[in-house]
């Protein structure tokens, strides 16, 4: 009897995982993060929705959702806390494999160690609505240490698949028993040594910093064992993406002609900029009644396009009930007739979902999002992106307070 757990991976989870996976420094790390996240979201959903046991339903990402990027950037696998217990899931795609490799970090770093280790086979080659994951079984920490073979070439513990316990019911019945063992403390890593490692391994061109043969595993482990250093490592490796998020802009102040964070009113630029730049943006204002305002900001594409900049324009028209109609456009500047091809303009919700997105083609002299309505108190984001560079601007409309004259 086959007791393996088979779960379908919903298309929505694939989309969510793919979006989150883009926040990694190179394509290999992005795909690995995608594989891990489809596994995480699918399995965690099963735990929370299908199991009635209160201890099992009280499950969460360990150590936290915020820590996940820094872990998946450099190592395969993730942890879920179930009450006081901890399970480690190691996904892989090799269907024909008879053995399972567990990265050494999950066995020999004190803050990473788990009670149970689950081998998860992920099939992403099927149609989007037919992708699945199979939990092929689990092993306890002691089993991994006693029955596996260590491979120093890729710093993994190798365990035969046939050694795994197939049924997760066995794991459920033993959750009141602590399977996790005490792991020897790692050597102390001094701050100067840590910063030296961060400087070296923060280079995203090093695809697998965990496999640097000139760095003993104990030093690497001590670096990851420290939450602050691990986060610094992730931030350094991500710095090449040059993703910027600007402070939230209060559009209610724009209606009072008050701008900040580098924004200006278009009216102040009438004598500086080409009339053609302003003309197309103002077409939506035909017969507009009441207060309206246009905000203008230069987006520096930095070294991506020979220091070329583009102009982000946001126009507002107040409507009833405090709502505001918003029009967003992107224009070339500095004597350029056309936008760079493949530059993207996107409207993103507060929950990080892409609501609208448009991409420039060859010889587009501007691109624009569809006009949308924003109610008071609603936050939205506008993102300009090209290749690995992006700038995100946040906006919110606070309720207006009118005083009688």
* pTM of this structure: 0.61
Q: Which pLDDT does position 196 carry in this prediction?
A: 94
Which residue positions in the chain have pLDDT lower than 50?
Answer: 1, 242, 271, 274-277, 279-291, 303-305, 307, 400-405
State pLDDT tens for residues 208-227.
999 998 999 999 999 999 99
Whether the CB-CB separation of 288 and 331 falls below 8 Å is answered with no
State pLDDT tens for residues 113-128.
999 999 999 998 777 7
Q: Which pLDDT does position 40 carry in this prediction?
A: 96
Residue ranges and CATH numbers for the domains of the chain are 5-173 (3.40.210), 191-240 (no CATH), 243-396 (no CATH)
Q: What mean pLDDT, rounded, does the chain reach?
A: 83
Q: Which pLDDT does position 95 carry in this prediction?
A: 64
Q: Which pLDDT does position 247 carry in this prediction?
A: 66
What is the rounded distance in angstroms from the CA atom of residue 312 to the CA atom of residue 348? 15
Q: Which pLDDT does position 240 carry in this prediction?
A: 55
Q: Which pLDDT does position 261 carry in this prediction?
A: 75
Q: Which pLDDT does position 109 carry in this prediction?
A: 96
């Amino acid at each position: 009897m086959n007791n393996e757990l088979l779960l379908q991976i919903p298309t929505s989870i694939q989309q969510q995982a793919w979006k989150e996976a883009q926040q990694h420094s190179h394509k290999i790390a992005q795909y690995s993060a995608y594989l891990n996240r489809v596994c995480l979201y699918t399995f965690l959903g099963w735990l929370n929705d299908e199991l009635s046991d209160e201890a099992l339903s009280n499950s969460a990402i360990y150590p936290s959702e915020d820590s996940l990027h820094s872990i998946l950037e450099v190592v395969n696998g993730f942890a879920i806390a179930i009450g006081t217990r901890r399970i480690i899931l190691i996904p892989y795609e090799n269907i024909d494999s008879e053995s399972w490799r567990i990265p050494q970090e999950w066995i020999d770093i004190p803050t990473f160690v788990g009670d149970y280790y689950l081998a998860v086979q992920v099939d992403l080659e099927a149609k989007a609505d037919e992708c699945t994951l199979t939990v092929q079984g689990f092993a306890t920490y002691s089993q991994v240490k006693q029955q596996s073979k260590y491979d120093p070439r890729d710093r993994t513990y190798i365990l035969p698949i046939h050694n795994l316990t197939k049924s997760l019911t066995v794991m459920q019945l033993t959750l009141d028993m602590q399977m996790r063992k005490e792991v020897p403390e790692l050597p102390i890593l001094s701050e100067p040594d840590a910063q030296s490692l961060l400087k070296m391994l923060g280079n995203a061109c090093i695809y697998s910093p965990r496999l640097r043969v000139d760095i003993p595993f104990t030093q690497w482990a001590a670096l990851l064992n420290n939450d602050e250093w691990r986060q610094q490592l992730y931030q350094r490796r991500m710095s090449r993406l040059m993703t910027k998020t600007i402070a939230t802009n209060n559009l209610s102040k724009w209606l009072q002609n008050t701008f900040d964070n580098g924004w200006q009113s278009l009216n102040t630029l009438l004598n500086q900029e080409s009339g053609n730049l302003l003309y197309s943006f103002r077409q939506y204002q035909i017969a507009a009644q009441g207060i309206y305002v246009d905000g203008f900001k230069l987006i520096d594409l930095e070294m991506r396009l020979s220091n070329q900049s583009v102009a982000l324009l946001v126009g507002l028209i107040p409507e009833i009930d405090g709502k505001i109609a918003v029009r967003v456009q992107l224009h070339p500047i500095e004597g350029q007739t056309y936008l760079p091809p493949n530059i993207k303009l996107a409207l993103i919700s507060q929950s990080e979902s892409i609501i609208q997105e448009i991409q420039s083609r060859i010889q587009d002299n501007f691109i624009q999002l569809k006009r949308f309505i924003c109610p008071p108190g609603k936050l939205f984001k506008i993102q300009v992106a090209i290749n690995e560079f992006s700038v995100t601007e946040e906006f919110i409309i606070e309720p207006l307070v009118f005083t009688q004259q």
